[in-house]
Amino acid sequence: MPTDWPRFDYHAKRVRTLGFSCGIRRFTPDSEVLRALHFSRPLAPLCPSLRHLSWRSMEFYGFLPPEHICSLIGPQLCRLSLMLEKLDLVETSLIRSIPITCPRITHLSIFIYMPVSDHVREIIWETVGCCPLFIFWSDLPVSQRALVHLAGMPALQEMALDVSGKDELKSLSLPQCAFPALRDLTLTGEMVLPVLQALPSWEVEAIKINFTPTVDEEDLVTYFLKVLHERCSHQSLSRISVCFWPDFVQRHPDIYADMLQPLLSFTNLQDINIYIQSVSRLDNNFIDAAAKSWPRLRSLKLSLGRWGDHGLERSNITLNGLASLARHCPDLTSLTIVIDATVVDHVLGMPVSNPNLNVLHLGHSLIEDPTPVAAFLSGIFPYLTSIYSWNFIVADDETEMKEKYHDRWDEVVRQMQRKRMDERGNEAEP
């Protein structure tokens, strides 16, 4: 009703953030409602003060035709996130208009579900190069020309790119002043190493790498860490995530402690996630050196064991490795690691206690007697309340093994809880 517009305007002009990202259809706005609103006021934005818009035009989220977004974007918009099913004429025209319709845009995310032609992709990259971006995320495979454009952005601080399927990136060359403001970098695809090697010295605070090793990249981990060690500031890096997704056909070599030694030079690391097929050759000596090198560590995730063996290979890290982390990393709040708890030694060195860690993720860690393990963990992690273990089993003949070890770790938790209850009861007595 025309009389409803004053009430609508009263609320609409106060809207700063709008997102259509929920996958439950009943929360997705009706397409006909948006069309009616747009036709009622074709020349005026529905939310004139809108700063942040998240738009999902995909079947899973409840499909919204992209033309409806035109009644929402405007000159005040700073952050725009687009997840589109495809890039047809309407979608392409919409993206090309962003630098004009949204001159203040600083945060842009573009994700396309369907494949995009090289011609359309280059049009998109040229458009992105015209925006004064601080943050840019996209799953469109980047070209060498596009990377050069991005490298020249003086304010770009955070970037997530797909660097797969482009052989031209093997000969990538960037100027020494490339990415002057970059602090957070995510790269996904086969050409991660050539892109990293082309970057000049950089002072990123966070780096995330995702890709599947190919047959001719057996020294991939060593080479990546060597490049990281040579090009990245040892003082600035605080967060690193390395995910070498397993190739189930090609078996890759074990990861030894000396291969990961370059990481020990980054003394301000706080969050570490290393997801590699096999790092089962690590031992207490490496964990002790790592704990001393990373005193500010908050989160450590080490995926141990080969996928082909379902992670059942015995770990060389024992409970004393956990004691080193508790002793030297007082801020540690999250730990994912595989250990061998079948042999329990006394805590080496001075008494240790980490009051911040309350959950352990131990994967396929072996254990025999829960009682000494519970006593050991109570000493180094007095506020530990949960242990997650043996959650993923593929083969049917491993079910019995899972139940045995899972039950033993559950018993560790029960004994630790009983001990804390007894201690509180003793403190309450006069």
Q: What proportion of the chain, given as a percentage, has pLDDT over 90?
A: 42
What does the pLDDT read at residue 272?
95
What does the pLDDT read at residue 271?
97
Q: Where are the domains of the chain?
A: 1-132, 311-430
Domain 1-132 coded CATH 3.30.70: no
Give, in degrees to the nearest 5, the angle at Cα 254 between 392 and 170.
105
- Mean pLDDT lowest among 51-55, 212-216, 303-307: 303-307
- Mean pLDDT lowest among 16-30, 88-102, 248-262, 367-381: 16-30
Decide if pLDDT at 41 tops 70: no
Q: Which of 79, 149, 74 is nearest to 107 (CA)?
A: 79
Give, in degrees to the nearest 5, the angle at Cα 15 between 12 and 17.
145
Which residues does 90 contact at the CB level (< 8 Å), separation at least 6?
65, 66, 67
What does the pLDDT read at residue 242?
87
Split at pLDDT 50, 70, 90, the class of 347 is low
Q: Which residue has the tokens 């980047």?
A: 142
Tens of pLDDT, residues 159-214: 999 998 667 888 888 888 899 999 999 999 888 888 988 888 788 999 999 876 65
What does the pLDDT read at residue 279?
53
Q: Which of 313, 307, 365, 306 is nearest to 335 (CA)?
A: 365
Half-sphere exposure of 39 (CA within 13 A, CB side): 6
Mean pLDDT, rounded, of the chain: 82
Strand-pairing partners, residue 152, are: none
What does the pLDDT read at residue 37?
62
Tens of pLDDT, residues 372-414: 999 999 999 999 999 998 876 555 566 777 788 999 999 999 9
What does the pLDDT read at residue 117?
87
- Mean pLDDT lowest among 104-108, 395-399, 421-425: 395-399
Decide if pLDDT at 309 tops 80: no
- Mean pLDDT lowest among 22-36, 143-157, 251-265: 22-36
What's the mean pLDDT in 274-290?
80
Decide if pLDDT at 218 tops 60: no
Inter-CA distances, 277 with 60, 100, 248, 264, Å: 32, 47, 10, 21
What does the pLDDT read at residue 310?
42
Question: Exposed e or buried b for every residue in 97-127, given b needs 16+ CB within 10 A?
Answer: ebbebbeebbbbbbebeeebeeebbebbbeb
What does the pLDDT read at residue 359?
93
What's the mean pLDDT in 242-255?
58
What does the pLDDT read at residue 192?
87
CA distance between the termini of the chain: 73
What does the pLDDT read at residue 370?
94
What is this structure's pTM?
0.84
Decide if pLDDT at 27 tops 50: no
What does the pLDDT read at residue 25?
44
Tens of pLDDT, residues 132-158: 999 999 999 998 989 999 999 999 999
What does the pLDDT read at residue 403?
84
Cα Dmax for the chain: 80
- Mean pLDDT lowest among 106-110, 248-252, 255-259, 275-279: 248-252
Three-class DSSP category at 21:
coil
Which residues does 171 contact at the CB level (< 8 Å), separation at least 6?
144, 194
What's the mean pLDDT in 38-45?
63
Half-sphere exposure of 28 (CA within 13 A, CB side): 18
Decide if pLDDT at 249 tops 60: no
